[in-house]
Amino acid sequence: MKTQIVKIILTITFVVGSSVLLAQVPPPPPGGGHGGNDNQPGGGAPIGSGIGILLALGAAYGGKKVYRAFKNAEKLEE
């Protein structure tokens, strides 16, 4: 009974919190920028190196999983 009450309270907290804490788009800078199509949302954040790091980590993790799978398959055959 106590765990059900805790689950209900947590669910209500997350639902109310997610509706209250929504991010809002900041207003555009004064002056309208330098012309052209500079008013892109996000402001041109540099994400190139972050994606490369995540891809390398994912490849290393996948390689580790494949290595362990082959190693376990060899042990089972013996």
Per-residue pLDDT tens digits for 21-52: 776 777 766 765 555 555 556 566 666 777 88
The total number of structural domains in the chain stands at 1
- Between CA 71 and CA 77 the distance in angstroms is 10
Q: Which of 12, 10, 42, 48 is nearest to 26 (CA)?
A: 42
Question: For residue 71, is it within any domain?
Answer: yes
- Between CA 60 and CA 9 the distance in angstroms is 40
Question: For residue 24, is it within any domain?
Answer: no
Question: For residue 69, is it within any domain?
Answer: yes
Per-residue pLDDT tens digits for 47-70: 677 788 899 999 999 999 999 999
Range of the domain at 57: 48-78
Phi, psi angles (nearest 5°) of residue 75: -65, -35
Question: For residue 58, is it within any domain?
Answer: yes
Question: For residue 35, is it within any domain?
Answer: no
Q: What residues contact 33, with CB distance under 8 A and at least 6 apart? A: 39
